[in-house]
Amino acid sequence: MNAKNLSDRLKIVASFVEQDTILADIGSDHAYLPCYLVHQSIISKAIAGEVVKGPFESAVKQVKSEGLEKQIEVRFGDGLQVIEDEDQVGTVTIAGMGGPLIASILEAGKHKLTNVHTLILQPNIHAKAIREWAIREGWNIDQETILEEHSKIYEVIVLKKGNMVLNEQELLLGPILMQSCTSVFQKKWSVEMKEWERILTQLKNIPPSPEVLQKVEEIENKISLVKELL
C-alpha cells in the first residue's frame, strides 16, 4: 500500500470524504489517506495527526516525498489536540484502531469538534463503542459499510451531527448494516457467534462466580441479538 495505491479499506474511508472539505486524519501513520485524497483532487488541505514518534516521522517523510507539504501539515499530538479552531476542519477521519480507542479519542477531544460536520470512523473491532459515544454526544449515523480485505472484516461508520435512538441490536450490529445484511456482514457475525459459543462452553465449565454468571448472561444476550437477524 502507498498513497497512490491505497488499501480497499482506506479507499472506502476516502470515498466518504466530501469534495473540498478540510480534513484532519488522526492516527495517520504514513499519511497515505490525506496524500491520496490530495492526489485525487478531493481535498486541498489536511492535517495528519500522530502521537507516536515513528509513525509521525513516517508521515513527515511521506508528505515530503510526495511534495505535498503545502497541502498537508503533519502534527505531533494526542488525538484531536492537533486541531485548532483556525484550521476550520470540517471532516475528521480516524481509521485502523479499535472502536473503544476511537471513542476515547473523540471523547477526550470533543471540544475540538464544534465546527466539524462529518466524522468518518473505521474501527477494526467493537464498533458498538462508537455508536454508544455518538448517541451520548449528539451524532447521527449517516452511512455505514462493511468490507473484507485480506481475510479481515472492517466496518466504516460516517457520523453527522444530529440525534438518534438505537436499540440494543442496532447498537451492536449497526442500523444500516443490519438493513443491508450483506454476505460480509453475515460472515462477520457468524464468526463472532462461533467464538462466543466457544467462550460460553468454557465459562460453563468453571465454578460459577457472580462475574462468570454476568459474562454468561452478556454473551447469551449478544447471541440472541444476532440470531434474531441471521
Residue ranges binding ligand SAM (CB under 6 A): 10, 26-29, 49-52, 55, 78-79, 95-97, 105
Given the complex with ligand SAM, which of 49 and 174 has the nearer CB atom? 49
Given the complex with ligand SAM, which of 21 and 58 has the nearer CB atom? 58
Integer CA distances (angstroms), 173 to 115, 120, 146, 201, 223, in order: 29, 17, 11, 23, 12
Closest CA to 91 of 155, 145, 14, 36: 14
- Cα–Cα dist 143/160, whole Å: 9
Q: From the CB of 160, what's the least distance to ligand SAM, in Å?
A: 21
Q: From the CB of 216, what's the least distance to ligand SAM, in Å?
A: 33
Q: How far is CA 227 from the centre of its chain?
A: 25
Q: From the CB of 226, what's the least distance to ligand SAM, in Å?
A: 27
Q: From the CB of 129, what's the least distance to ligand SAM, in Å?
A: 14
Given the complex with ligand SAM, which of 78 and 195 has the nearer CB atom? 78
Give the ranges where 79-159 is alpha helix by DSSP (H).
99-108, 128-137
Cβ–Cβ under 8 Å, residues 230 and 222: no
Given the complex with ligand SAM, which of 99 and 170 has the nearer CB atom? 99
Given the complex with ligand SAM, which of 95 and 141 has the nearer CB atom? 95
Q: Please state, as a whole number, how many other Cβ atoms lie within 10 Å of the Cβ of residue 162.
A: 11
Q: From the CB of 46, what's the least distance to ligand SAM, in Å?
A: 13
